[in-house]
Amino acid sequence: MAGTVIYGDRQPHALDAGAREDGGRLWISVADLEPATGWTLKPEGMCREEACVPLPADGAWLDGEGRLDLTAFARADARSSLHDEEHGIWAFGPSLAVAADGVEAPDFTLPDIDGQMHSLSDYRGQKVFLYTWGSYCGCSFDPPVWEVIYREMREKNLEMISVALDTAGKAAVEERIRPDGLDQRPDSLRRLRGWSEQQWEAKAAPSHPCLIDESHELAIKYGMSNVPMAVWIDEAGRIVRPSEPAGVTDHFRSMDPESFELPHDDAAALEANRARYVDALRNWVDNGDESEYALTPEQVRDRAHRPVESEIVAGLHIRIASHLFRQGDAPAAKRHAEAAVELCPDKWNYRRQSMALEPETVGALNVSPGFWSAMEALGSGSFYDEISLPGMVPHKR
């Protein structure tokens, strides 16, 4: 059978013709095992680096032709799975066999706009401000202003990493990462994003790493449910502030959907909150663990979010959507993105992504009727979680 395996955060792997599907079980050749999963079959069992998992004594994981039951192994490794029968795709989630401690920042490897790969671990020894955005969000206009903050702090051993959660990839985000006409962006956009006039005037094309996460990998690894979100990571690779809105609050919800204009009080609150957040970041960059805004490991663990089964499966739908979109099947990609939304309706990064996968919407700000209807349906509920910093102006619902 022809088929594709997407295993954890590895790239999709096309199976050889010897693979077979049998009653919801996927049997693959030993030759496919390592390139698909990173594991190899040895006399002592299934092995990867120093870890080995013994095979069952009854031989249940192997068939008479030497193929291995990948679904059985994945279950033993505490991995959820999802099968798209129509397209012959099998996706397997991250292993939950070893629980993350909630403090060590999960590593990732993602491409920049030129295809160069960057890993978080490349920046060990520096403080890292990691923030996310999407082309479908007004936050896609933030990177040139974060660049202003980066240039102010980069000589203090800070690295800033931007990650676009965007299934459409380079086509969707290139204009935001390498923008033209920065000086033509209207002041109404500045007010909506909460930047000061001085920061807005100084905005520049980003020189800090701007990466692309087509599968929304960081949403699972860091417990993110929206964009823009941010994580602060110290020189040893430990999280000192887990995922939280990157200085933005719900005051933007009073904007006029046609003009994007905001009432004065809400615009002032957005600017005050953004300034408060950036000031806290400055304090941490200057003072490290002694900063009042650097959380203790216990506080980080208390705030950490461990994904549940529905979130893992929703993430697999997005993984499959990303693969199908790259293969040119946008309608099927959209169906998988919508399935992710059904499983996790509170994950706005999935919801907004699902509205931006038609060819005519790729790279465009999502201000469709569907978005406004979803926002209105929130009622008094929150779009962004509150940022736990003293001095933030609360949003009155």
pLDDT reported for residue 97: 72
Q: pLDDT in tens for each of the 397 residues of the chain? A: 679 999 999 999 999 988 999 999 999 999 999 999 999 999 999 999 989 999 999 999 999 898 999 999 999 999 999 999 999 999 999 988 765 788 999 999 999 999 999 999 999 999 999 999 999 999 999 999 999 999 999 999 999 999 999 999 999 999 999 999 999 999 999 999 999 999 999 999 999 999 999 999 999 999 999 999 999 999 999 999 999 999 999 999 999 999 999 999 999 999 999 999 999 999 999 999 999 999 999 999 999 888 999 999 999 999 999 999 999 999 999 999 999 999 999 999 999 999 999 989 999 999 999 999 999 999 999 999 999 999 999 998 7
Is residue 15 within 8 Å of 32, Cβ to Cβ? yes
Strands 13-14 and 4-7: antiparallel
Note if the pTM is more than 0.85. yes
Residue 114: CB partners within 8 Å, gap ≥ 6?
Answer: none
Residues whose CB is less than 8 angstroms from the CB of residue 278 and which lie 6 or more positions away in sequence, other chains included: 149, 247
Task: Give the CATH fold of the 109-303 domain.
Answer: Glutaredoxin (3.40.30)
Residue 19: the pLDDT is: 94
Burial (0-12, 13-18, 19+ Cβ within 10 Å), 139 = buried
User: For 144-163, what is each residue's pLDDT tens digit?
Assistant: 999 999 999 999 999 999 99
- Inter-axis angle of helices 143-153 and 264-287, nearest 10: 30
Extract the tokens encoding 152: 């102010």
Residue ranges of the domains in the chain?
Answer: 4-92, 109-303, 309-359
